[in-house]
A = this chain, B = another copy of it.
Amino acid sequence: MKEKINPEQCQVVSSLNTLLGKWKPIILQHLLAEGTLRFNELKKRIPDITQRMLTLHLRELEAQDLIKRVVYPQVPPKVEYSLTEYGKTIEPLMNTLHDWGKNHLQHIENLKKLDKLD
């Protein structure tokens, strides 16, 4: 018997926790695709997110050192978000998740079709 695995020590859970948040993967995808975006540019690209959640998620991603936040001291304020160098290491992970997820949707779709034949 293998040793016990707890959520706290499981490294898979560690990865998942980093991405845990309804909009975090979306935010990361936009920053991966476009490099640098202002707060409102992100808001426009993710219409259904609330300002509150965008702020909270950005703060958490920043705390994880995945993104950096640059404030231009001017009025009206201008704040730019982009991935840190470290944050860019998440791209292969995102791609792996994307590929498996895409295949998974197809798989579930196929199962449903087979069910209808019964």
Contacts and interface: CB of A to CB of B under 8 A. Distances in A.
Interface in A7-34: 7, 10-16, 18-19, 22-23, 25-26, 29-30, 33-34
Given A7-B23, A30-B5, A86 B107 contact: yes
Interface in A68-118: 86, 89-90, 92-94, 96-105, 107-108, 111
Secondary structure of the A side of the interface?
Answer: helix
Given A5-B26, A97-B11, A97-B93, A18 B104 contact: yes
A80 to B, nearest CB: 16
A37 to B, nearest CB: 10
A29 to B, nearest CB: 6
